[in-house]
Amino acid sequence: MSIVTVQLGQCGNQIGYEVFNAICRDFHSTHGLCSKKENESYQAASKERFFSEEETGVPVARAVLVDMEPKVISQTLSRAARSGLWKYDHQSHFCQKQGSGNNWANGYSVHGPRYRDVIMNLVQKEAEKCDRLSGFFTVMSMAGGTGSGMGTFVTQCLRDAFPTSFILNQVIWPYGTGEVIVQNYNSVLTLSHLYQSSDALLVHENDAIHKICAQLMNIKKISFGDVNQVIAHQLGSVFQPTYASEGASQYSRSPLGDLMESLVPHPEFKMLGLRNIPQMSENSLAYSTFTWPGLIKHLRQMLIANATMEEGINWQVRPPLPGHPVPQKASPNKAQHFNTSIANLVVLRGKDVQSVDLGVFREPALYTSWLNPQDAVNVWKTPRAFNKYEKSAALVSNSQFLLKLTDNIVGKAWNMFASKAYLHQYTKFGIEEEDFLDSFTTLEQVISSYASL
C-alpha cells in the first residue's frame, strides 16, 4: 500500500527531497546483508510504497509539492531530476509568487481556502495513482507561514476528502533561539489545530538534530542540508518496509495503520517522538561494531531519560520501583523526571534481528496503567540492513518526550500574547484574540494530560 507525501513550504520541500533521496538510495544499496530474494522483496515493497513507475523506468515520487513562492520548489524538482535515480512528477506541484510572510493567518485563512481546490486536485491525482492508499504524510515546519498555516488547512482538507485514510503529520520544531520571531505563535496555532484533524504528529526538533550533526556526525559547518539528511535517515529507518508481526511472511502493507494502531490508543495523546541509533558519519561507520543488547539498552535509557541521542544519556534516571507509591505528579519543570510512556514502537533492521530480546522494553514500570504492557510495545523487524548500518534500531514513542518542549513553546507564546505584540499582523488576516485563546486552551489541556501520566 502506498503513502502520498504532501511537502509544504520551504522546510517541507527541502526535507521531502532528502527523504525520497534517502529511500531511493537505500533500496538501490548493495549492502543489504540479506538474501537476494529478501532484498528484492524489500525493494519492491519500498518502491511501491513511495514511488510510482513511469515508462522510462525512473521511479516517480508519490508527492505533491506546495509552496507559496517558487524558488524552493524549482530547486527541489531540478535536484531530484539531476540525481538520475528518481524524480518528481513535474505536474504535481503548486506554487504562487509571494510566500506567506511567516504569517500563520495568511497561510491558513487566505492561501488555504484560495487554493484549496487546485491543491486537492493534485492530491487526488496522486492518490488515484496508488493501487491502494495507505494514507498521507505531510511534511511541514511550525515556525513559518506556509508549512504551518497552509499545512494545517491542507491537513483539514485531507481529513474531509479522505475520511478513512490515515494522516501522519511530520512536524519540524524550530530552533529554540529563533529562526522566526513569531515562531511561537505559529507553532501554538499549528499544534492546536492539527490536533483536531491529524491522526498523529511526528515531531523532529531542529536543536536535537543539530546536536546529532555536531557531536555524532562530527560535521563542522552544519548546513540545513545536513540537518535534513539526518531527519530523512530517521524517517527512512521507520518507514522502509518491515515485517510487522512475528512469523509474518510478507512486508507489512499498512505501515501507517499499524503505526496508529500501536501508538495512538487515545485521541488526546497524539504527539510522537522519534529516536534512532546508531547515528554516525560514514567514515566512522566502517570502524564500528554494535551488539543488539548494547543498542537496546541505550535505546531504552534514551526513552526513560528523554535523551535525543546516544551520547550524554543520563543513566541515573530509573523507572519507579513496582509497589512503591507513584512519585509526585511530573511537573514539566522538573529536569530529571522519568519519562513515562503510553506506547512504544521499536523498529529493528539488519543482522541477527531474530535474536533480539526486547524484554527490557516491556517492563510495566515504563508505562502508564491503561494498556497491558504486552500491547504497549510493538516491534517491526527486517533482516535487510538500512542505509549501510549493519544494525539499526529506531524508536517511535508516544510518551512525555515532548512535554517540556510543548510547555516551553506555550509559555513563550503566552508571554508574547500577554503583551499583545504582533497580534495586529494576525488579526488583519482574520485570526482574532479569541482564536489564540482557544489554541492556548487546547494546548494547556494537552500538556496537562501528558503531565499526569
Q: Shortest distance, CB of residue 157 to other proteins, whole angstroms?
A: 24
User: Pick from 203, 396, 404: which is nearest to 302 by CA?
Assistant: 396
**Residue with Cβ nearer other proteins (175 or 290):** 175
Min CB(429)–other proteins separation in Å: 11
CA distances from 407 to 61, 86, 334, 343, 448 (A): 36, 41, 12, 21, 10
- Least distance between other proteins and beta carbon 239 (Å): 25
Nearest-angstrom CA–CA distance, 333 and 82: 48
CB atoms within 10 A of CB 356: 16
The rounded distance, in Å, linking the Cα atoms of 395 and 302 is 10
Q: Is the dihedral of CA 206, 384, 297, 265 positive or negative?
A: positive
Measured from the Cβ of residue 331, the count of other Cβ atoms closer than 10 Å reads 11
275: helix, strand or coil: strand
Residue closer to other proteins (CB basis): 105 or 296: 105
String of b and e for 284-315 (b: at least 16 CB within 10 Å)?
A: eeeeeebebeebbebbbbbbbbbbbbbeebee
DSSP state of 329: P
Residue 15 or 353: the one with the smaller Cβ distance to other proteins is 15
| Of 196 and 291, CB closest to other proteins | 196
Minimum distance, C-beta of residue 141 to other proteins, in the bound complex (Å): 10
What is the distance between the alpha carbons of residues 95 and 97, in angstroms, rounded to a whole number?
7
For other proteins, give the closer residue by CB, 104 or 386.
104
Kindly list the strands in the beta sheet with 2-8, ordered across the sheet, starting from the edge strand earlier in the chain: 93-95, 63-67, 2-8, 133-141, 166-173, 200-205, 271-277, 391-399, 341-350, 377-382
Instruction: Tell me the closest approach of the beta carbon of residue 398 to other proteins, in angstroms.
Output: 20
DSSP class of residue 270 equals -
How far is residue 186's CA from residue 175's CA, in Å, rounded to a whole number? 13
- Work out whether strand 391-399 and strand 341-350 pair parallel, antiparallel, or are unpaired: antiparallel
No. of helices (H) and no. of strands (E), the chain: 16, 12
Q: Which is nearer to other proteins, 120 or 410 (CB)?
A: 410
Nearer to other proteins, 38 or 179 (CB): 179
Nearer to other proteins, 11 or 158 (CB): 11
Residue of 159, 334, 194, 180 lying closest to 270 (CA atoms): 194
Shortest Å distance, C-beta 149 to other proteins: 12
Q: Which residues bind other proteins (CB under 8 A)?
A: 10, 14, 69-72, 75, 97-103, 145, 175-182, 210, 213-214, 219-225, 227, 410-412, 414-416, 418-422, 424-425, 440-441, 444-445, 448, 452
Long-range Cβ pairs for the range 22-27 (8 Å, 24+): 22/229, 22/232, 22/233, 22/235, 22/236, 22/387, 23/50, 23/236, 23/239, 23/240, 24/51, 24/59, 24/83, 24/85, 24/86, 25/85, 25/387, 26/236, 26/240, 26/386, 26/387, 27/240
d(CA 107, CA 115): 10
Q: Is 46 or 102 the residue whose CB approaches other proteins more closely?
A: 102
CB of 87 to other proteins, least distance (A): 19
- Cβ atoms < 10 Å from Cβ of 125: 14
By C-beta, is 176 or 294 nearer to other proteins?
A: 176
Shortest approach of other proteins to residue 228 CB, angstroms?
9
- By beta-carbon proximity to other proteins, the closer residue of 314 and 445 is 445
CA distance 96 to 70: 6
**Beta carbon of residue 212, minimum distance to other proteins (angstroms, whole number):** 12
Shortest reach from residue 204's CB to other proteins, in Å: 15
| Nearest approach, Cβ of residue 209 and other proteins (Å) | 11
Q: Cis before residue 70, ω within 30 degrees of 0?
A: no
- Cβ 407 to other proteins, closest distance in Å? 9
Closer residue to other proteins (CB): 113 or 293: 113
